[in-house]
Chains A and B, each alone.
Chain A
Amino acid sequence: MPAGVKLAQFQSLNPVIHEKARLAIMTYLISSGETAFSDLKSELKLTDGNLNLHMRVLEKHALVKVRKTFVDRKPRTTYQVTEKGLRAFEDHVTLLERIIKIGRKRPDER
């Protein structure tokens, strides 16, 4: 089994996105566009508190933007990936592919 690739080697690897639930959230938002909190919760099977926590982290790092509106006098929160979030996601996937490629090479080829 090849040894782990040191995270420090990939300075641009985004630890905010790398967390499994946040990676799922980012993937969902990128493929579906603007999505309501309730839809994210049911589609990704996360609890209110858990999703809230992850969304706050993504929002803090400006990877998603939040929009709060009222529909039939009820509050509705929707999320959308920002340009920065999209770039960060693309970079993250590229890096994951590179790590896998390095892992598949023989030690003398690395």
Chain B
Amino acid sequence: MRSRALSPDEAVESLDTIRTVLARTTRYTHISWVGIALAGTIGLATSAGAWLFDVSPREAPREFLLLWCTALVGALGGGLWTTVRKARRAREAVFGRKLQVVSLGVLPSLVAAALVTCVLVQSGALDLAPGFWALFYGLGILAVSHVLDWEFQVTAWAFLVASAASFFLLRGAPHLAMMVTFGAIHLVLGVFRCKKEGACQPG
């Protein structure tokens, strides 16, 4: 390999290559704004439906749980579908190491949320569920925020604050608590990501 003049510009370019690859290896960028907005819409629609038909966690705990489990499956399914689609469009590995890191990071919080829900059902205190769900969801996002963009960390803290509000201010209003947390916060994040990804430019 021949010796030649190396300009500072070439050196800068080489360091840029290193920086770009490092950012790519440490950041998980396949979470689509469509999936987040879809989760927010499902959250809003479900809480509005529960409010409208008076599916309260105290009076109708089984129905309340069933309704939100269905919403969770819908949001997770939509999220997975949009994630796979985004990764394929970028011609990147869908089920690679980074997805493994994110999944394993979130898993303990999801397991804890499921266990606490079981305890709440058994003790007849399901009206506390919205607060706990928001708390564990926020902790789950926070656990993997080091591989996500900064707005996910802000979102995680928003869930933690909303969780505290659910426990102390909105305990008697579970539908409003769910509407604010799993509906509004998701929608705000979805719109922000949409603008950031350049998919929601005016005009």
A residues at B contact (CB < 8 Å): 1-8, 10, 13, 15-16, 18, 20, 23-24, 27-28, 31-32, 35, 38-39, 42-45, 93, 96-97, 99-100, 102-104
Contact = CB atoms under 8 A, between A and B. Distances in A.
Given A39-B97, A42-B92, A103 B17 contact: no
A100 B17 contact: no
Contact of B93 (A2, A5, A10, A38): A38
Contacts of A2: 7-8
A44 B93 contact: no
Contacts, number: 90
B110 to A, nearest CB: 26
A100 B93 contact: no
Given A42-B93, A43-B24, A45-B91, A27 B7 contact: no
Given A4-B6, A42-B92, A31 B22 contact: yes
Interface residues of B, number: 28
Interface of B: 1-15, 17-18, 20-22, 24-26, 91-93, 96-97
Given A31-B26, A100-B12, A7 B17 contact: no
B26 to A, nearest CB: 7
Contacts of A42: 91-93, 96
Given A31-B25, A42-B96, A23 B8 contact: no
A12 B97 CA distance: 34
In the A-B complex, the 4 residue pairs with the closest CB atoms: A103-B8, A4-B5, A15-B1, A4-B7
Give the interface centre of B7, B11, B17 by most chain A CB atoms within 10 Å. B11
A5 B91 contact: no
Given A20-B17, A31-B25, A42-B91, A100 B96 contact: no
27 contacts: A4-B5, A4-B10, A6-B5, A7-B3, A7-B5, A18-B14, A20-B17, A23-B18, A24-B17, A24-B18, A24-B20, A27-B18, A28-B21, A28-B24, A28-B25, A31-B21, A31-B26, A39-B93, A39-B97, A42-B91, A44-B21, A45-B91, A93-B15, A93-B18, A96-B15, A97-B15, A100-B12
A42 B24 CA distance: 12
Nearest to B13: A20
Give the interface centre of B3, B8, B92 by most chain A CB atoms within 10 Å. B8
A43 B93 contact: yes
Contacts of B96: 39, 42-43
A19 B166 CA distance: 56
B25 A43 contact: yes
Contacts of A24: 17-18, 20-21
Give the interface centre of B5, B6, B25, B91 by most chain A CB atoms within 10 Å. B6
Nearest to A103: B8
